[in-house]
Amino acid sequence: MAFLEGTLGIGVGVLVGLALLKYSGYVEALKKELGYIASGAVFLILAAVLEPVATGIPSIATAVSWINIIFWVIAFILVLIGAISMAIQIFSKLK
């Protein structure tokens, strides 16, 4: 499926994973951590939305590519922070 490829597919996949996490029973305990991951997914979707702009308007392609890189880095950092803090919360409750 072409829809689930590239940056857009990763962003949608992260959001689908968060939606499926609802059935695990951890959502209430991990609201703050899930917010970090959802914010990262939104930045991935924003980066995917900007890609056609770079191809449609060649004069701003360099600026859009730099903005995409910034969005990817922000998304990676947010998802990483959310995943690490989620793991800490889950493992601390297992004791």
pLDDT tens, position by position, 21-39: 888 777 777 888 888 999 9
- Assess contact for 14 and 48: CB atoms under 8 A: no
Each residue's pLDDT tens digit, 12-23: 888 888 888 888
- Residue 57 DSSP one-character state: -
Is residue 80 very low, low, confident or very high in pLDDT (cuts 50, 70, 90)?
very high
pLDDT at 79 > cutoff 90: yes
Q: pLDDT: is 13 or 94 the higher one?
A: 13
> Helices 6-20 & 61-93, crossing angle to 10 degrees?
20
Percent of the chain scoring above 70 in pLDDT: 95
